[in-house]
A and B are shown apart, each in its own frame.
Chain A
Amino acid sequence: MSLRVDVRARRGTFIVEAAFHAEPGRTLALLGPNGAGKSTLVDVLAGLLPPEAGTVTLEAITLDDATAGTHTDPEARPVGVVFQGLLLFPHLSAAENVAFPLRARGIPRQEALRRATELLADLGLADRVSARPRDLSGGEAQRVALARALAAEPRLLLLDEPLSALDVRSRTQIRALLRRTLVEFPGVRLLVTHDPVEAMTLADRLVLLEDGRVTQAGTAQEVRAAPRTRYAADLVGVNFFEGRLERLDPGAGRIAAPEGDVVVAWPHDIGTEGESVIGILRPADVALHVQEPEGSARNVLRGPISQIAIEGERARIHVDSSPPVVAEVTLGSVARLGLHEGSDAWASFKAVEVRVLPP
């Protein structure tokens, strides 16, 4: 009883190949940078783009099976979509927009409008039912689009970048509303976004999509603990090194990354010499100094501070060394060390702090 996707789809020369599954009563976030193929997958799931190969099944229904030549048309799918850009019908009022999926399925006008009005009232739009889309604020339009996607009680709810068009204030508001609505929705919820905050606050599981391929799937904790790509590492804010593994001495090796080497404890569980590996380093494990430090840390890198980003009581210091690293320190340390953008700093971390993973 779930959504299973294993498809190859083509749009122009761009090809998306993705396999993932999602469970009812849970929210899956499809997270990726712009141009990764997220909207192409939305179109495949909505039935607007038949896949070139592979299958899409929802519960017991096969929606697509390219080999068997099966393709369910969009109008026959139990899918509700909040499109990027919303696509509200400009010639219809808010209530008529929400009633559209009901009327299209043969429910009489009065009954459809009554249910649409109820849905809009549930989302706090009781006084906007007769407004045209052009007269709605961004947040109001977003709620109308959400109501419209829910109106026909679909079994799969697709939300394509539901917050991207909103200003900061209504974004917070709609995110809270979205979280409530998602929890109440009994079917499969699929949230498509490029915003990691959106993905991690609204979804139970993440599927990372980059350049038309799934690069990682798992819970936010799993991705945070072991990001598989630089994009994933950036999302969860950890340092990421990728290169060939070379032996230094019996207990240690180094990752020869193009931007510079990193010394690591020899990973006995994986890899042999010369293989490509990934190194993950938490910024909190990086120490900063204004003079060359003495101690046992085998990685000591020097470079100018390129950026200081303050998050609450802590600061993320970007050191433009070889390779570049990000250190997370307290605001107190920033003041005590007198760190500022442009000044030189030494970053140090122990070899054992770098987690080595197969690529």
Chain B
Amino acid sequence: MSATTGRSRKAHSTPVGLSLLAALGLALVALPLLGLALRTPWSRLGQTLSSESALTALRLSLVVSIAAAAIGLVVGFPLAWMLARSRFRGRALVRGLVVLPLVMPPVAGGVALLTAFGRSGILGRPLHEAFSVQITFTTWAAILASTFVSFPFVVLALEAGIRSIDERLEQAAATMGASRWYVIRRVTLPLLGPQIAAGVVLAWARALGEFGATITFAGNLQGRTQTLPLAVFQQLQTDPEGAIALSLLLIAVALSVIVALRARFLPAS
């Protein structure tokens, strides 16, 4: 019907082939969501989500993802600062290493973590022998796995942010008697507010969905390392409806993040 108006056939009309492919792409996203919505046991949703095992997994997921984002910020800021400000040999190598977890398959990341922190790992073995400390199969392992895959988001967001700061502002602060730490605390970090928010939220969302490295490195122990994604995977084999309910919960959390950040990441139409 739009073809009869004449105007729509100009710049704003989409070629038929393109429309079909676009519809296919949309269906790829929409169909699974539709399936999830149709198969959700809405009548016993509340009951499923408030079950002991679901609440335990949710609590653990929040602890692990928030801890991963926090650790990511604490170690990510210094790394970002060095990458943005220091001139040192091997800077390109460091940046490559830091972003590697972004493109590395998480399962491979989990295996790599095992070789470092596992009981026979290069750091794990001496730790175990000297202090009887074991990292694998503990909540710390889940946090470590989530931090590993998520902190590059913090580094990338903060490095770009630090580069965009006018260095003269920090120099001006120094002429006012501010030590280097004071400048970072009172000038650099406050100016980085939006980038810190963006980096931390992205890292947190990535940590929340983390599966492969966690199950490989930390195992799947309820109450200790079984985060929501792992619980979904396990439920699917025994109680598909429960898995659907938990998936819905994960999606709801992810969606709330996108809504909260839409102004920053989704261009206004």
Residues of A within 8 A of B (CB): 46-48, 73-77, 79-81, 83, 85, 87, 89-91, 100-101, 103-105, 148, 152
Contact = CB atoms under 8 A, between A and B. Distances in A.
B176 A100 contact: yes
13 contacts: A48-B175, A75-B176, A75-B178, A81-B172, A83-B172, A87-B172, A89-B187, A91-B191, A100-B186, A104-B182, A104-B186, A152-B176, A152-B177
A157 to B, nearest CB: 12
Interface stretch (B85-93, B163-171, B213-221): B163-171
Given A89-B169, A100-B173, A75 B179 contact: yes
Nearest to B172: A87
Nearest to A145: B172
B176 A83 contact: no
Given A87-B168, A91-B191, A100-B186, A47 B175 contact: yes
B174 interface: yes
Nearest to B182: A104
Interface residues of B, number: 18
Interface of B: 166, 168-169, 171-179, 182, 186-187, 190-191, 193
Given A80-B175, A87-B172, 9 more contacts: A47-B175, A75-B174, A75-B178, A75-B179, A91-B191, A100-B176, A101-B178, A103-B186, A104-B178
A74 B186 contact: no
B166 A87 contact: yes
B188 to A, nearest CB: 11
Contacts of B175: 46-48, 74-75, 77, 79-81
B168 A85 contact: yes
Contact of B190 (A80, A91, A101): A91
Given A74-B171, A87-B168, A87-B172, A100 B178 contact: yes
A91 B182 CA distance: 15
Q: Which 3 pairs of residues, A with B, have the shortest CB-CB distance?
A: A101-B176, A104-B178, A74-B174
Contacts of A75: 174-179
A75 B172 CA distance: 10
Contacts of B193: 91
A79 B172 CA distance: 11
Nearest to A43: B171
Nearest to A158: B175
B169 to A, nearest CB: 5
A76 B174 CA distance: 9
Of B168, B169, B177, B187, the most chain A CB neighbours within 10 A belong to B177
Contacts of B186: 100, 103-104
A335 B191 CA distance: 62
A105 B193 CA distance: 24
Nearest to B166: A87
Contacts of A77: 175
A83 B187 CA distance: 17
B171 A48 contact: yes
Given A89-B187, A91-B190, A91-B191, A48 B174 contact: yes
A85 B168 CA distance: 10
Q: Taking each of B175, B190, B193, which has the highest tally of chain A beta carbons within 10 Å of its own beta carbon? A: B175
Contacts of B173: 89, 100, 104
A104 B193 CA distance: 21
